[in-house]
Amino acid sequence: MILLDGKGTAATLRMGLAVEVQNLSRQIARTPGLAVVLVGNDPASQVYVRAKEKAALEAGLNSMVYRLEIETSQKELEALIDKLNADDNVDGILLQLPLPGHLDSQACLERILPEKDVDGFHPINMGRLALGLPGLRPCTPSGSLRLLAHYGLNPAGKKAVVVGRSNIVGKPLAMMLAAPTINATVTVCHSGTKDLGAECREADFLFLALGKPRFIKKDMIKEGAVVIDIGINRTTSGLCGDCDFEDVKDKVSAITPVPGGIGPMTIAELLFSTIQACKWRNQL
């Protein structure tokens, strides 16, 4: 069984990105900039933002973090987004989700310029993904596929099952897997799937993003399958994925740990997206 080390892989990738940032900075006579906006005091969001800030600084990016009070109004948040859109030193804008309940997340995401939308959530970027056109891609699906590529695991021609259909992970991941560049045969499962176990047992590559701790057991997995566990669940015994790692580890050929799997790859992918956004904005 291969343990797909996202933490180590992301660290290696960041070293290469730091060199690329140096070269790009010389070309454009400034440091590529990433702005992260955090509203409120959600503990998980604060941890994620600190990790993103640390990774951006280590890669040599100009990291700008805007921490707003939970009482921030829709108008105030949109005004900040407009300011960042107009700032030529900002190449990428990331709005940390979830937002407090009184704010309209979709309206805020759509307000970010598509060319600065490093999370890839703007309808234009999602539409470009669906059409197979170049654009900024959601970081978690991209990071998952980059981790597979790092280990030489190729889903081309294989059966890939995605459990979860969120706009953040499941839907874009399914489109990426089905794209001609990867050529997997894709099935998307969700809460309405009648026999989830039967679908999962067909998977050569099983991607889990359903948000249920240790839900997937070994009797739901094909012998020798590759499991990419994207779920991060907080339980009384600590963080765990959607897959019961201890139960399945002797049956799979490769699996991501939680934590230390897809989380670090998502952050690394954010840096890739910021660099790509900078290149496109400067026509490089």
Our count of domains for the chain comes to 2
Q: Residue 3 domain-assigned?
A: no
Average pLDDT, whole number, for the chain? 97
The closest alpha carbon to 25, from 56, 65, 61, 64, belongs to 61
**Looking at the structure, do residues 105 and 194 belong to the same domain, yes or no?**
no
196-215 pLDDT tens trace: 999 999 999 999 999 999 99
- Provide the pLDDT confidence category of residue 160 given band limits of 50, 70 and 90: very high
Q: Which of 113, 128, 150 is the last residue of a domain?
A: 113
Specify if 124 maps to a domain. no
In a shared domain, residues 103 and 175? no
CATH number at residue 203: 3.40.50.720
pLDDT band at residue 122, thresholds of 50, 70 and 90? very high
**196/98 same-domain check:** no
CA atoms within 13 A on the CB side of 241: 26
Q: Domain holding 100: CATH number?
A: 3.40.50.10860
**Assigned token pair, 246:** 């201890």
Residue 173 lies inside a defined structural domain of this protein: yes
Are both 225 and 144 inside the same structural domain?
yes
As a whole number of angstroms, the distance between CA 212 and CA 100 comes to 23
Tracing tokens 């047992």 back to the chain, one arrives at 201
Binding residues for NADP(+) are 164-166, 232
Q: Which pLDDT score, from 0 to 100, does residue 35 have?
A: 98
| Tens digits of residue pLDDT in 63-75 | 999 999 999 999 9
Average pLDDT of the residues in 149-167: 97
250 shares a domain with 147:
yes
Query: Within a 10 A sphere around the Cβ of 150, how many other Cβ atoms?
Result: 17
- The amino acid occupying position 267 is I
* Known binding-site residue numbers: 164-166, 232
Tokens of 192: 């309405």
Residue-level pLDDT at 82: 98
pTM of the entire structure?
0.95
For helices 6-28 and 139-150, angle between their N-to-C axes, nearest 10 degrees:
110
Would residue 133 count as lying in a domain? Answer: no
CA 214, CA 220: separation in Å to the nearest integer?
12
User: Tell me, what's the pLDDT at 226?
Assistant: 98
Q: What pLDDT band is residue 50 in, cutting at 50, 70 and 90?
A: very high
241 within 8 A of 208, measured Cβ to Cβ? yes
Does any domain span residue 18?
Answer: no
Percent of the chain with pLDDT over 90: 97
Q: Which active-site residues does the annotation give?
A: 52, 96, 119
- My answer on whether 85 and 193 are in the same domain is no
Quick check: is 283 in a domain? no
Judge if 161 and 101 occupy the same domain: no
| pLDDT of amino acid 88 | 97
Confidence at 161, pLDDT banded by 50, 70, 90: very high
- Are 159 and 202 within 8 A, CB to CB? yes
Q: Are residues 147 and 257 located together in one domain of the fold?
A: yes
Task: Look up the domain containing 45 and give its range.
Answer: 29-113
pLDDT tens-place string over residues 224-249: 999 999 999 999 989 999 999 999 99
- Within-domain flag for 80: yes
For the chain, what is the HEC assignment?
CEECCHHHHHHHHHHHHHHHHHHHHHHHCCCCEEEEEEECCCHHHHHHHHHHHHHHHHCCCEEEEEEECCCCCHHHHHHHHHHHHHCCCCCEEEECCCCCCCCCHHHHHHHCCHHHECCCCCHHHHHHHHHCCCCCCCHHHHHHHHHHHHCCCCCCCCEEEEECCCCCCHHHHHHHHHCCCCCCEEEEECCCCCCHHHHHCCCCEEEECCCCCCCECHHHCCCCCEEEECCCEEECCEEECCECHHHHCCCCCEECCCCCCHHHHHHHHHHHHHHHHHHHHCCC
Q: Is residue 122 part of a domain?
A: no
Whole-Å CA distances, 4 to 161, 228, 260:
18, 9, 9
What six digits make up the tokens of 9? Answer: 């892989």
Same domain for 177 and 102, yes or no, is no
Report cis status (omega within 30 of 0) of the bond before 259. Answer: yes
